[in-house]
């Protein structure tokens, strides 16, 4: 690995960690394009497997900060994660059977769709005290389980943490505030990333040296992202819109390269 690749991997990991710490998701959807087009990983499947490990590790690091801040709704996170892990295991097996270039094209189209959905999402009434209990299970479980399963399928197929889908999914299912959805999503991102990573690692699609470099960069990025997120909490909507536009632009590039 050249010094240029190492520097690119550190920077890419830093960007992924910063985005995860800032908005709770989205870093993973940038990980594969960064590995392929910035770091120079030649195989789409190797990029997906490596990204899954790096994203899971960076999400776990970001989760520590959010857990200390008390923003994680643990029961909701665990149910969503269990459903998501089942979907991710299935999705990863399907994804490995798809041609690499076609997978990149589909990945690019997904990015465009996600960016558009982020711009069009309307906030519903928030329920800051929502919690999963015996009293609320009949209302929350029918929402958390199918959404978690669907997000897991997408995460496994494309090798992503799925935070950009988990955050709105949690808000849709429970009406929890954004700050809680961000912290809670990191539990699920970690679980889904590890599931996808294990599947790809068993098939030999993980570059472990590259993973280590990206984790180092991601740890630094996560600290910065969490700190900036706290200072810019009032401008969260603007940050999300800017990120949505970035995701669509990268997705367009990835889709065209895949074609």
Task: Enter the pTM of the model.
Answer: 0.77
247 pLDDT more than 90 = no
Is residue 95 a contact partner of residue 153, using CB atoms and an 8 Å limit? Answer: no
Measured in degrees and rounded to the nearest 5, phi and psi for residue 176 equal: -65, 150
Phi-psi region of 204 (alpha: psi -120 to 50; beta: other; left: phi over 0): left
In this structure, what token pair is assigned to residue 168?
A: 């709105």
Q: Which domain holds residue 202?
A: 3-258
Tell me the C-alpha distance between 229 and 224, whole Å.
8
Q: Which of 77, 59, 66 has the alpha carbon at shortest distance from 19?
A: 59
Check residue 2 and report its DSSP letter: -
pLDDT digits (tens, 9 = 90+) for 69-86: 899 999 999 999 999 999
pLDDT digits (tens, 9 = 90+) for 110-130: 878 877 876 775 555 678 889
In this structure, what token pair is assigned to residue 104?
A: 């990149």
Q: Give whole-number Cα distances, 74 to 104, 159, 208, 255, in Å.
A: 34, 24, 30, 36
Q: What percent of the chain is modeled with pLDDT above 90?
A: 36
Phi-psi region of 98 (alpha: psi -120 to 50; beta: other; left: phi over 0): beta
29 pLDDT more than 80 = no
Q: Which pLDDT belongs to residue 39?
A: 95
Is residue 159 a contact partner of residue 93, using CB atoms and an 8 Å limit? Answer: no
What's the total number of domains in the chain? 1
236 pLDDT more than 70 = no
* Residue 206: pLDDT band with limits 50, 70, 90: very high
pLDDT digits (tens, 9 = 90+) for 132-164: 999 999 999 999 999 999 888 888 887 676 766
Q: Which pLDDT belongs to residue 55?
A: 82
On average, the pLDDT of the chain sits at 85
């Amino acid at each position: 690995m050249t010094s240029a690749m190492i520097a690119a991997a550190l920077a890419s990991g830093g960007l992924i960690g910063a985005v995860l710490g800032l908005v709770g998701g989205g870093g993973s959807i940038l990980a594969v394009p960064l590995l392929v087009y910035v770091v120079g990983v030649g195989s789409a499947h190797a990029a997906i497997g490596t990204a899954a490990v790096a994203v899971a590790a960076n999400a776990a690091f970001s989760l520590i900060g959010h857990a200390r801040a008390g923003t994680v709704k643990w029961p909701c996170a665990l149910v969503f994660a269990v459903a998501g892990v089942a979907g991710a295991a299935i999705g990863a097996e399907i994804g490995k059977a798809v041609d690499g270039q076609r997978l990149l094209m589909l990945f690019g189209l997904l990015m465009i769709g996600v960016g558009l959905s982020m711009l069009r999402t309307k906030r519903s009434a928030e329920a800051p005290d929502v919690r999963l209990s015996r009293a609320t299970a009949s209302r929350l479980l029918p929402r958390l389980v199918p959404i978690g399963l669907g997000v897991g399928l997408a995460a496994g197929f494309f090798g992503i943490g799925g935070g950009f889908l988990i955050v709105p999914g949690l808000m849709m299912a429970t009406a929890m505030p954004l700050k809680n959805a961000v912290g809670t999503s990191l539990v699920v991102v970690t679980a889904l990333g590890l599931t996808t990573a294990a599947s790809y690692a068993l098939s030999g699609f993980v570059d472990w040296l590259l993973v280590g470099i990206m984790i180092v960069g991601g740890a630094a990025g996560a600290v910065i992202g969490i700190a900036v997120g706290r200072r810019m909490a009032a401008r969260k909507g603007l940050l999300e819109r800017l990120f949505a536009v970035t995701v669509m632009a990268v997705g367009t590039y990835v889709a065209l390269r895949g074609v």
